[in-house]
Structure 1
Amino acid sequence: MDLRQIGASSLVSGPSLREQARQVIRGLIITGQMQPDQLYSVPRLAIDLGVSATPVREALLDLAREGLLEPVRNRGFRVVSLSPGELNDIFAIRLLLEVPVVAEIARARLTPAQTEQLRHLAQATKRAADDGNLIEFLETDRQFHVGLIATLGNKPLADLVETLRDRVRLHGFKNDSTREHIAQSASEHFQLLDALSKQDEAGAVAVMRRHLERSRHVWGEGDRKPHTEDQT
């Protein structure tokens, strides 16, 4: 695996090499370029990223604490493997959390500054989708959704949703229509913001539910449990 082919060689001294390494490695995991059946060593990843081993080791440990990786003693790290049932369980939790949260945000109403910041992130996801840049899309998409929930001022909730969003992406896309999916997702960000700006609670809830259900089809493995929303 040559990480430099996806821009990893751009890691340079900056605010945090550890954070930069974490973002790149997370991107490799959630796009399926790092596989559960392989071991990844700190020295090898450090060489591919073009940085020292310390920030890479710290980044891997961070991702292990998030549940994306598991350490293998004296050998390296392995991507955590989730069963279809576990994926479905996580999506069920996300529906229980994110849909009511969006309703609460609609009732509370976003401030102009919050709306501007979220629209900026929505525009960033659209640019990434238009360019077919999956890693950049997934990063800006994460920032959008976590930032949206953070408007309520509940950091533990925002952190939990961020972790759940990453975990459902452990296997990479299970669908050939990647570009179509990310284009639709980017469009739905604007639909969601439009509903929230009007305090249209029902509209915002409908967009978020559709957003999550379609994502479940793409990130799941096709062996999905029946779900009440699917039958309506």
Structure 2
Amino acid sequence: MKQGLHDVSGTGLPWHAARPAAPRVPAQSGAAEARERADGSSGVRGEHTHGEPPLPRPRAVVQRASVRGQILDALRSALTTGELCPGEVYSAPVLGDRFGVSATPVREAMQQLALEGAVEVVPNRGFRVVRRGARELAELAEVRALLEVPVLLRLAGSVPAARFAELRPLAEDTARAAASGCPARYAEADRAFHRALLALAGNEQLLRIAEDLHRRAQWPLVSTPPRQHRAVLLRDAAQHTALLDALASGEQDAVAGLVAEHFAQRD
């Protein structure tokens, strides 16, 4: 039986009815949270007087950021695998109980996901996972193509073939992730490949916008049988290698066709 948010104990109980046996995300103590609040509200912020050396920031600040980041990663994985179901509403307290933390870092992570378009706020209830329709996915594919195809065509005519060869290990990572059949693992490897490829253009703003569009196109996944979905991932990964070959040889028509097909067939 698949274990995840819906079955975390191996008992067959729904995930919200049983606490996970796996290591829990470390929660902050009340004292740590109090120190963090005091750090942000006392004294003159950002100033040091009378030559006093700056004090180190409390460890609680780092711990809080770490907890929030871990929760965000866990929620992203759950969205990608479909463990958080499109259309369902999830509350921060219940999710916090599942992860063994307070509702605060969960709520903060969910707010970030709302900014990324993965969930929407439901007042007094929590967060609803957004449903992705075929039209929205097609629109995302079109926008990605409009943004990335011209960049890749420019790279095909200006970047030495050796630079594309350096990206082959990342393409191979996507193939291994696809073979594993794990959507979350593939999503991460896929983003790493495309991020490294676009990074050759040297445009940080492009990377940020492309990353946001890529994430929006990845979750929640359309419900398909696992075997069929694995076939889609394998085909998707194979196109990475073909794209590198076309870029290295400077075949711009082949590059344009591969990228358009790659985006259009994601789901």
Q: TM-score range by the shorter chain?
A: 0.7 to 0.9
Q: Which residue identity is paired with 2:252? A: E
CA RMSD in angstroms comes to 2.9
Change in 2 beyond 3 A, CA 1:39/1:102: same
Give how far 1:100 is off. 1.9
CA contact (8 A) 1:9 1:49 kept: no
- One-letter amino acid of the structure 1 residue matched with residue 79 of structure 2: I
**C-alpha separation in 1, matches of 2:234 and 2:155:** 24
Tell me which residue corresponds to 1:178: 229
The equivalent position to 1:129 in structure 2, one of 178, 182, 196, is: 178
Aligned to 2:147: 97
Structure ID, larger Rg: 2
Matched, 1:212 2:263: yes
Q: Flag the 1:122–1:47 CA change in 2: closer, same or farther, 3 A.
A: farther
Decide whether aligned partners of structure 1 residues 104 and 174 sit closer, same or farther in structure 2, where only a CA change above 3 A counts. farther
CA contact (8 A) 2:92 2:126 kept: yes
Query: Residue 36 of structure 1 contacts residue 81 of structure 1 at CA under 8 Å; is this kept in 2?
Result: yes
* CA displacement 1:72-107 (0-9 Å, x = unmatched): 223211112344333322222122122222212212
More helix as a share of residues: 1
2:116 to 66, 76, 80: 66
Residue 31 of structure 1 contacts residue 135 of structure 1 at CA under 8 Å; is this kept in 2? yes
Count of aligned pairs: 215
- Check whether the contact 2:6–2:83 (CA below 8 A) recurs between aligned residues: no
Question: Following superposition of structure 1 onto structure 2, how do residues 7-26 of structure 1 map, counting pairs within 5 Å?
Answer: 9=22, 16-26=66-76
CA distance in 2, matches of 1:8, 1:138: 26
TM-score (norm 1): 0.78
Aligned CA distance change for structure 1 residues 136 and 149 (closer, same or farther; 3 Å): same
> Where in structure 2 are there 5+ consecutive unaligned residues?
10-19, 27-62
- The 8 Å contact of residues 164 and 244 in structure 2, kept in 1 or not, is answered as no
The worse-fitting range, judged by mean Cα deviation, of 136-145 and 10-19 is 10-19
Answer whether contact 1:11 1:17 (CA < 8 A) is retained.
no
Taking every aligned residue pair, what percent have the same amino acid on both sides?
A: 36
Equivalent position to 1:45, from 95, 116, 136: 95
Question: What runs of 5+ residues in structure 1 fail to find an aligned partner?
Answer: 219-232
Distance 1:197 1:80 in 2: 39
The one-letter amino acid of 1:107's match is G
Higher relative contact order (CA 8 A, sep 6+): 1
Which residue is equivalent to 1:223? Answer: none
Aligned residue number for residue 221 of structure 1: none
Q: CA deviation at 1:137?
A: 0.5
Matched-pair contact (CA < 8 Å) for 1:69–1:77 = yes
TM-score normalised by length of structure 2: 0.69
Q: Which residue of 1 aligns with 2:42?
A: none
Matching residue's letter, 1:89 = E
| Distance in 2 between residues matched to 1:150 and 1:62, nearest whole Å | 24
